[in-house]
Amino acid sequence: MELISWNIQWGRGADGRVDLSRSVATMRAMADADVICLQEVTRGFGELRGAPGADQVSELSALLPGYRLLFAPGVDRFGSDGGPRQFGNLIATRLPVHEVFRHALPWPADPDVASMPRVAIEATLQAGSRPLRVICTHLEYYSAHQRAAQANALRDWHAEACGHALRPGRSESTPGPFTPAVRPTEAVLCGDFNSKPDDIAYRRMLEPFDDDTTPWRDAWMHIHPGQSHAPTCAMYDKEQWPEPPFACDFVFVTENLAERVRRCEVNAATKDSDHQPIVLSLDI
């Protein structure tokens, strides 16, 4: 299974131009992806830099034939014209989908900084003979307080999912919404964590659990032991990011998937966003 995770910055490259077809071409050159996890997809925020189109979900749907697109806006508003103004994460997949969860991440008040509502979208997919949960998220940049709360929530939701996997609920006598869907412990969690490896959010994701919850492992570090993280931000867009390049985008896999990771690489060449995409290959 091939998975790509990328903060596409609504398709805006380091040249300031918005071009989703360019973003898709870059991903196609990286891998024949079964699953694509994107952050910063918008509907209705045409005033963003580069003037993105009115509905990027529809644009991406046209550019990705054969994929099912699952969108979760963190920001979900309506403009004065009554149209949607949404900003969030998207999973595009060619794999069969069992179930989808849209988790609103915690957003505790932090009045000294700018911030926005954030989201994690989770899909249970059929990856070959095994079900697999894939979670695409994007944590707050400006507020360490919010980012820590969001990391804790991601851990709590993972523990809940593992609890369902190990202790499935009962069904009613007739099929319906009380009939539990498959909820595996095996999972991939990816996205823009706005968190360097020494940040509380990154460190919190890798802490052990107190119960039988399957812990997370950093897929890149598993494949590249003893190396520093490859940078995923501040490589080309020096107007937004004048500091040296750093890593803040990660792919985590559950411990029971770690030995199935065959590749986890950062595309350091593309200038099609202010972030670099990551490709993960899993032997399933």
The residue type found at 234 is: A
What is the structure's pLDDT at 167? 92
What is the structure's pLDDT at 81? 92
Give strand pairing partners of 5.
37, 278
What is the structure's pLDDT at 32? 98
Q: CATH no. for residue 135?
A: 3.60.10.10
In a domain, 101, yes or no: yes
Task: Domain count for the chain, please give it.
Answer: 1
In a domain, 228, yes or no: yes
275 is in which domain, residue-wise? 2-168+181-282
- Model pLDDT for residues 52-97, shown as the tens digit of each residue: 999 999 999 999 999 999 999 999 999 999 999 999 999 999 999 9
**In the predicted model, is pLDDT for residue 145 greater than 80?**
yes
Q: What percent of the chain has pLDDT over 70?
A: 100
In a domain, 173, yes or no: no
In a domain, 174, yes or no: no
In a domain, 175, yes or no: no
What is the structure's pLDDT at 180? 84
* Residue 173: band (very low, low, confident or very high) from pLDDT cuts 50, 70, 90: confident
In a domain, 22, yes or no: yes
> Mean of the pLDDT values across residues 179-193?
94
* Residue 170: band (very low, low, confident or very high) from pLDDT cuts 50, 70, 90: confident
- Between 181 and 46, residue with greater pLDDT: 46
In a domain, 176, yes or no: no
- Model pLDDT for residues 10-36, shown as the tens digit of each residue: 999 999 999 999 999 999 999 999 999
> Mean of the pLDDT values across residues 39-43?
98
Between helix 56-63 and helix 20-30 the angle, nearest 10°, is: 40
What is the structure's pLDDT at 179? 86
The residue type found at 184 is: P
3-state secondary structure the chain: CEEEEEECHHHECCCCCECHHHHHHHHHHHCCCCEEEEEEEEECCCCCCCCCCCEHHHHHHHHCCCCEEEEEEEEEEECCCCCEEEEEEEEEECCCEEEEEEEECCCCCCCCCCCCCCEEEEEEEEECCEEEEEEEEECCCCCHHHHHHHHHHHHHHHHHHHHHHHCCCCCCCCCCCCCCCCCCCCEEEEEECCCCCCCHHHHHHCCCCCCCCCCEEEHHHHHCCCCCCCCCECCCCCCCCCCCCECCEEEEEEHHHHHHEEEEEECCCCCCCCECCEEEEECC
**In the predicted model, is pLDDT for residue 144 greater than 80?**
yes
Q: Answer for the pair 250, 190: CB distance below 8 angstroms, yes or no.
A: yes
Q: Answer for the pair 38, 69: CB distance below 8 angstroms, yes or no.
A: no
In a domain, 201, yes or no: yes
What is the structure's pLDDT at 116? 98
3-17, 88-102, 159-173, 249-263: the lowest-pLDDT one:
159-173
What is the structure's pLDDT at 172? 80
